[in-house]
Amino acid sequence: MEYRNLGRTGLKVSELCMGTMQFGWTADEDTSLQILTKSYEAGINFFDTADVYSRWAEGNPGGVAESILGKWLRTQKIPRDQVVLATKVRARVGEGPNDEGLSRTHIFNAVEGSLQRMGTDYIDLYQAHSVDASTPIDETLTAFDDLIRQGKVRTIGCSNYPAWRLMRALWTSDKLGLARYDSLQPHYNLVNRAEYERELAEVCATYGLGVIPYSPLAGGFLTGKYRKGDSPDSARLGGVRRYFNDRNGSLLEKMEKLGREKGNFSISQVALGWLLTNPYITSPIIGPRNLEQLEDNLGAVGLRLTQEEVEMLNTASAWRDG
């Protein structure tokens, strides 16, 4: 397993990050704990969660994924300094008017809940889950800066930020002498490229942000199991239908062929390898819901594509403005 710097920070993180959105949703607690143990044994030291995971699932009040992560750390006696814990704040986690957003009040309340559920004294990477246009960016960044000064947070990042808001945040940090976002968590994969590549990629490269893409397999579409006219029942089927077109069908065929030629790699492993080959990508966030999917994801560790292979996939999945 290769370990990489998280942006400008000194944190060393594994080339794959274990996401936990499926915990308490499509993976029950026992399965989730097994996934965590197997991933750690395989060399993964980077774990991403959020206080809201997965509130949308029936019977899940939110905070469940953080609680499962905390139980795993406690019961397996995982040395705290051997893992990098990342969580997020922004989404609604209660019913009150201050139970969502990026206000100082909500951030200070939310961080205490996350620390308690994970059973830790500090969070390695605390991320703004998405933009809160109703809160001044200097209020948000000052709150994050204070948490770093208090020792409750090591570094901060953001997710789902457009380039102009990310630049505004970086400028505000520089102007006011506050901690700055050192990572970005974008929605990025072979069938969703423009959102990151259009402007965010250059911002991240220029200012040295770590990039930890979520949904690297496009909700399962880039595993090849979802095909137009032939798809299994799944909680994520509705979300991947948008990718059902002839162009993406052809892309899957090219990925399947490339995987065979490189040594019997699966379509999903090729999708992860495409990201891992990009020098500006830190750690794609995988989200297996069972051990079989985890084993497949781990098969991408160390996979690097040639320049010609990358160009072939880029051409097959190229995006255009307009």
Within-domain flag for 122: yes
* Number of structural domains in the chain: 1
Would you state the structure tokens that stand for residue 243, as one six-digit string? 């990718």
Q: Could you tell me if residue 321 is inside a domain?
A: no
Which pLDDT does position 289 carry in this prediction?
96
Mean pLDDT of the chain: 95
pLDDT at 137 over 80: yes
Residue 267, domain member (yes or no):
no
In a domain, 237, yes or no: no
Instruction: For 233-291, write each residue's pLDDT tens digit.
Output: 555 555 788 888 889 999 999 999 999 999 999 999 999 999 999 999 999 999 999 99
* pLDDT exceeds 70 at position 230: no
**What is each CA distance from 58 to 27, 121, 263, 319, in whole angstroms?**
13, 30, 41, 36
Please give the sequence-ordered ranges of beta strands (E in DSSP) within the chain, or none if there are none: 3-5, 12-14, 17-19, 46-48, 84-89, 123-128, 153-159, 181-185, 210-211, 285-286
| Residue 232 confidence (pLDDT) above 60 | no
Instruction: List, for residues 79-114, the tens digit of each pLDDT value.
Output: 999 999 999 999 998 889 999 999 999 999 999 999
The per-residue pLDDT for 226 is 74
Q: What does the pLDDT look like over 45-88, one tens digit per residue?
A: 999 999 999 999 988 899 999 999 999 999 999 999 999 999 99
What pLDDT shows up at residue 260? 97
CB neighbours of residue 299 within 10 Å: 16
User: Residue 322 pLDDT more than 90?
Assistant: no
Any catalytic annotation for residue 243? no
How confident is the model over 171-192, as a mean pLDDT?
A: 98
Using the 8-state DSSP alphabet, how is residue 23 labeled? Answer: B
In three-state form (DSSP H/G/I as H, E/B as E, the rest C), the secondary structure along 108-176 is HHHHHHHHHHHCCCCEEEEEECCCCCCCCHHHHHHHHHHHHHCCCEEEEEEECCCHHHHHHHHHHHHHH
Instruction: Tally Cβ neighbours within 10 Å of residue 147.
Output: 20
* Cβ–Cβ < 8 Å for 25, 57: yes
What's the rounded Cα separation, in Å, for the pair 95 and 221? 34
- The catalytic residue among 53, 181, 196, 243 is 53
DSSP E strand stretches across 189-290: 210-211, 285-286
The CATH number for 205's domain is 3.20.20.100
Q: Is residue 226 part of a domain?
A: no
Q: Which residue has the higher pLDDT, 225 or 185?
A: 185
Per-residue model confidence (pLDDT) at position 240: 83
**Residue 102's CB: how many other CB atoms inside 10 A?**
25
Q: Is residue 303 part of a domain?
A: no
Structure tokens at 15: 């080339």
Q: Does residue 239 sit within a domain?
A: no
Q: Look at 153-162, 207-216, 233-242, 249-258 and tell me which has the smallest mean pLDDT.
A: 233-242
State the pTM of this model: 0.95
What's the domain range around 214? 3-221+278-288
The stretch 181-190 carries a mean pLDDT of 98
- The torsion angle over the Cα atoms of residues 48, 52, 54 and 56, rounded to 10 degrees, is -150
Summarize the confidence of residues 149-178 as an average pLDDT: 98
| Residue 317 within any structural domain of the chain | no
